[in-house]
Amino acid sequence: MSETTPTPIATAAAIRGRRQWPLPKQADPDAPLLVVEDLRVHFALESGSVKAVDGVSFTLRDGEALGIAGESGCGKTTTALALLRLLPSNAKIVSGSVRLFGIDLVPKSESALRRYRWREISLVFQGAMNALNPVQRIGDQIAEPLVARLGQSQADATRRAGELLELVGIPRQRARAYPHELSGGMRQRAMIAMALACDPAIVIGDEPTTALDVMVQAQILELLERLRSELGLSLILITHDLSVIAETCDRVLVMYAGRIAEEGPVTGVFRRPRHPYTQKLLGAFPDIRADRRSLEVIPGAPPDLRTPPPGCRFHPRCPLVMGVCAEEVPPEITFADGVRVACHLYPPGSDGTPVPVPSMAVGGGSFASAAGAGSFASTPDAGPPGGDATTLADAVAEEIAAEGPAHIPSLDHSISPERPPGDR
């Protein structure tokens, strides 16, 4: 596990100096690398329209690594595929903009958009056994974009493919191998080599390490880190594994049911999660340094996106739900430390302390602020139910201040899976 050295944030002008290929003619030299604004993607199914991505915005700066986290089906992969319009035919980008170097990709025609694929943004899929053509040698697959997109000769492309393989740690003789002849880890490396072929600005990794065992996972992450610093790549890493994001990324974007729950620098979000969903997510992950305790479970299941819940989409499962949560979509507000949250606990003008939740929402729930509670320790639970939240919050805050994180009582299992938070 290597330390993440922060890469200097630069503008497109600096990128132009470092890159092998010139920027697109329409590029705006002062714009950030990638700006996604209010992206909405809908799927047309027989049974209805699925609002898979519903108002997602974020910015990726040059050299940055952004992690997109969330449960399965929350829209993270759809967002990534939407950037290059690689969605299946029944999906449509209904609104929003995707600005790469300041150029909006959404209104572009298919053939105009094709220019940007792989040359500016490339993809590494999970489970590379299916993502690689099983009847074609991997060397040919790596060389293919060089020949077809960059117009190189077959000989040059083959040579370059060999170089790329060595770059990711595969001996270049293996270029003649077929995907099924390689191990899982090597296939993933081959996919990474392929993604780098046209020297893109951004590489998107969709669960790049999910199917691999832990040792290989660490190697792949280390490889990505090395490539990032050597080549000045920007990364978007999509995963449900928060530890991967913590290790590799600068910023994290937590998605839930097609919307953003929380977004910001990794240290800020993980140390001090504000959105209840983020807190639950972090609580669901075991920390090897903390006391042994039962894992927290988020009761309920992700919503059916054909008929998503009104207002905040998380409210049916939220332990701190209030009346307004079921009526209004929470606005996004940004705090001073760069963290952005969309939750009614933090109305516009909030300073970071959550709004007190009315008493009926208490009992068995955890409270929201976890000041100074250490990196991955879960938010502590209160003792017996009853009493109103203000007193609860105060009491626990006092206890933390007094005793320190190690003495925070561990989560008990009073939140059993069958009892939803609304049942008091």
**Binding piece for another protein, criterion CB under 8 A, among 108-116, 208-216, 255-263, 324-332:** 108-116
| Residue number, 73 or 374, with CB nearest to another protein | 73
**Binding piece for another protein, criterion CB under 8 A, among 70-78, 213-221, 310-318, 326-334:** 70-78
**DSSP bridge partners of 255:** 260
**Range 6-45, binding another protein (CB under 8 A):** 43
**Binding piece for another protein, criterion CB under 8 A, among 71-79, 161-169, 182-190, 358-366:** 71-79
From the centroid of its chain, how far is CA 363? 32
The region, left, alpha or beta by phi > 0 then psi within -120 to 50, assigned to residue 359 is: alpha
**Range 224-253, binding another protein (CB under 8 A):** none
Single out the residue of 13, 44, 112, 148 in contact with another protein (rule: CB under 8 A). Answer: 148
**Contact between 419 and another protein per CB under 8 A:** no
| Residue number, 74 or 224, with CB nearest to another protein | 74
| Residue number, 130 or 391, with CB nearest to another protein | 130
**Contact between 314 and another protein per CB under 8 A:** no
From the centroid of its chain, how far is CA 228? 17
| Residue number, 183 or 410, with CB nearest to another protein | 183
In the complex, what is the shortest distance from the CB of residue 206 to another protein, in angstroms, rounded to a whole number? 8
What are the CA-CA distances from residue 391 to residues 178, 382, 388 (Å)? 64, 11, 6
Single out the residue of 19, 31, 57, 73 in contact with another protein (rule: CB under 8 A). Answer: 73
In the complex, what is the shortest distance from the CB of residue 239 to another protein, in angstroms, rounded to a whole number? 12
Neighbours of 184 (CB within 10 A): 16
3-state secondary structure labels for all residues of 142-178? HHHHHHHCCCCCHHHHHHHHHHHHHHCCCCHHHHHCC
Task: Outline where DSSP puts E strands in 276-374.
Answer: 332-334, 340-342
Element (DSSP H or E) covering residue 202: strand 202-206
Per the document, the length of the chain is 424
**Contact between 390 and another protein per CB under 8 A:** no
State how far the Cα of 249 lies from the Cα of 350, in Å rounded to an integer.
27
**Contact between 84 and another protein per CB under 8 A:** yes
**Range 150-209, binding another protein (CB under 8 A):** 178, 180-181, 206
**DSSP bridge partners of 185:** none
**Binding piece for another protein, criterion CB under 8 A, among 92-100, 114-122, 344-352, 389-397:** 114-122
Tokens at 115, concatenated: 């220019």
Which candidate, 49, 52, 109, 50, places its Cα nearest to that of 75?
Answer: 52
Geometric angle at alpha carbon 342, from 340 and 346, rounded to 5°: 90
In the complex, what is the shortest distance from the CB of residue 360 to another protein, in angstroms, rounded to a whole number? 28
| Residue number, 136 or 334, with CB nearest to another protein | 136
- CB-CB contact of 343 with 86 (8 Å): no
| Residue number, 27 or 123, with CB nearest to another protein | 123
The region, left, alpha or beta by phi > 0 then psi within -120 to 50, assigned to residue 352 is: left
**Contact between 346 and another protein per CB under 8 A:** no
| Residue number, 133 or 229, with CB nearest to another protein | 133
State how far the Cα of 168 lies from the Cα of 235, in Å rounded to an integer.
16
In the complex, what is the shortest distance from the CB of residue 72 to another protein, in angstroms, rounded to a whole number? 7
Binding site for another protein (CB under 8 A): 43, 46, 72-73, 76-78, 81, 84, 86, 88, 114-119, 122-123, 125, 127, 130-136, 144-145, 148-149, 178, 180-181, 206
